Amino acid sequence: MKAIRISAPCKLDERGRILEEGKVCVEEIEKPVRKPGEALLKILYGGICGSDNGSYRGTFAYAKYPLIPGHEFSAQVIDVDEDNEYGIKKGMIVTCNPYMNCGHCYSCLHGHVNACMNNQTLGCQRDGAFREYFTMPVERCYDGKGMDAKLLAAIEPFCISYHGVSRADVKEGETVLVVGAGTIGVLAAAAAHAKGAKVYIADAVQGKLDIAMSLGVAEGTIYNDLSDPDSFMRQVREITGEEEYIGGDGASHCDPKGFDVTIEAVGLPSTFQNCIDAACFGGRVVLIGVGKQNLDFNFTLIQKKELNVYGSRNAMKKDFIELIDLVNAGSVPLDRIITNSYELDKAVDAFRDFAHNPGDMLKVSIHIGDPVDLDFFDYNAV
C-alpha cells in the first residue's frame, strides 16, 4: 500500500526562507494487521496542518525523521470487533482522536489525557495516518454521523481551536482577539464566534486576513505590519478604546482597554507578546501555537494586569463529539476552510505548494481513497 513519508526537512536561511526543498515522497509500505480492540481503517481524506507543514519545513518542535505525517483524517471502518462498547460498526465513516496518551502518568491519572506527559501524537512523535490503510484503537474512533468525508477530516484541527476557546471560557458579548490567521486561528475565531463573542483576528499576511473575513466569523482584522512595530498596538487601541489611570508609580498613564480574551495561534515569541500586550486588565490569554524559540519579556506585566494565562494542548473526546454535532447542525462554515485539494499521487506538490504559499492556502486536503462496498471487498487482495 502507499504512504506519504518525509525523510528530511527543508533547509532554511536565517529568515526562514527555503534554500533546499525537504525530501517527501509517496512510497510502498506494508499494510497493517488489525489486533483485537482495534479498528482497521481505509483512509479517505487527510488534512495538511501547520504542524505537518512545519515538519516539512523543519520548524516543528516535535518532528522526528523519517516520518509519515498526518493526524487529521477521515476513514471507513473496514473491520472491527463486533458489538464493541463504542458503537463503531463496519462501513461507518469516522474520524479519530490522534493524541496517544500513556494512561499511567500523573496527567492521565488525573483526567488530563490531552496533556499526557508521554503524549505521542500521530504524525508528530510517531508515524501518522497519511497512508491507504491504518489501525486505531476502537475507542478513539468517532462516528461522523453522515458528515461528508472530506469535511470530517477537518474536525480534528477544529477540536484544537475549540479546546483552546473552551479553556478561556469565552462568553457571549466578550471581545476576543485571535493572533494568527492560519487554519487553527481561523477555526478559533469560528469557535469564539459560535459562542457569541465579538471576534477580531490578526496576522502579518493580508491574504490570510482576507480569507478569514470572507468566512464571516470575525468583526474585523488587525494587519500586523512587521515594518512598523507600533502598528499592532495602535490598532488594538483603535478597536478597544483607551483608558486613563494612575499607575503604581503614581504617574498618569493611558493604555488601550484591550480584549477580554487573546488567543495565540502561531507559535512565535512576538505573537505571544502581542497577546500579552493586547489583553485587558484581568483578561485571559490562551496559548495554542507551538514553537521552538524562547521569549525574553517583562513577566511583571502578567502580575500588573492580573492576567490568566492558559496553555492549550490537543483536545478531548468531548470536543470531537460536540463539534461533529455543531458542524452537522450547520453552525460553522467548516467547508469553506478547505482552500486546496490534491490527490494522493500529488502529495509532494501539496507539501511544496503549502510551504511556499502559506498566505494563499488555509486547509490543504489530500484525497487518499474512496469508500468500498464491504460485501465485495477483500482486504487480503490489497
pLDDT digits (tens, 9 = 90+) for 122-145: 999 999 999 999 999 999 999 999
Alpha helices in the chain (DSSP H): 50-57, 106-109, 149-152, 155-167, 183-194, 206-214, 231-240, 269-278, 300-305, 317-328, 347-356
Higher-pLDDT residue of 10 and 291 is 10
> 363, 157 in Cβ contact below 8 A?
yes
Q: What is the pLDDT of residue 293?
A: 84
Dump pLDDT digits (tens) for 17-42.
999 999 999 999 999 999 999 999 99
Quick one: pLDDT at residue 98? 97
The count of other CB atoms within 10 Å of the CB of residue 372 is 14
Q: What is residue 341's predicted lDDT score, i.e. its pLDDT? A: 97
Q: Is the pLDDT of residue 292 over 80?
A: no
Q: Tell me how far apart the alpha carbons of residues 282 and 294 are, in angstroms, rounded to a whole number.
A: 25
CA distance linking residue 204 with residue 222, whole number of Å? 8
Is 90 exceeded by the pLDDT of residue 224?
yes
Integer Cα distance of 46 and 342 in angstroms: 10
3-class SS string, 306-352: CCEEEECCCCCHHHHHHHHHHHHCCCCCHHHHEEEEEEHHHHHHHHH
pLDDT band per the 50, 70, 90 thresholds, residue 357: confident
| 259/176 Cα distance (integer angstroms) | 6
Supply the mean pLDDT for the chain. 94
> Edge-to-edge, what's the strand order for the sheet holding 220-223?
220-223, 198-203, 175-179, 259-264, 279-287, 308-311
The pLDDT tens digits for 245-274 are 887 788 888 889 999 999 999 999 999 999
> All domains of the chain, ordered by start, with CATH?
2-153+333-381 (3.90.180.10), 161-311 (3.40.50.720)
Mapped onto helix, strand or coil, the DSSP state of residue 147 is: coil
What is the predicted pLDDT for the residue at 370?
A: 98
Query: Does the pLDDT of residue 331 top 80, yes or no?
Result: no
Instruction: Check whether 214 has a pLDDT greater than 80.
Output: yes
Residues 6+ apart with CB under 8 A from 300: none
pLDDT band at 290 (very low <50, low <70, confident <90, very high): confident
CB neighbours of 359 closer than 8 A, spacing ≥ 6? 205, 206, 207, 208
pLDDT at 197 (0 to 100): 97
Flag whether the pTM goes above 0.85.
yes
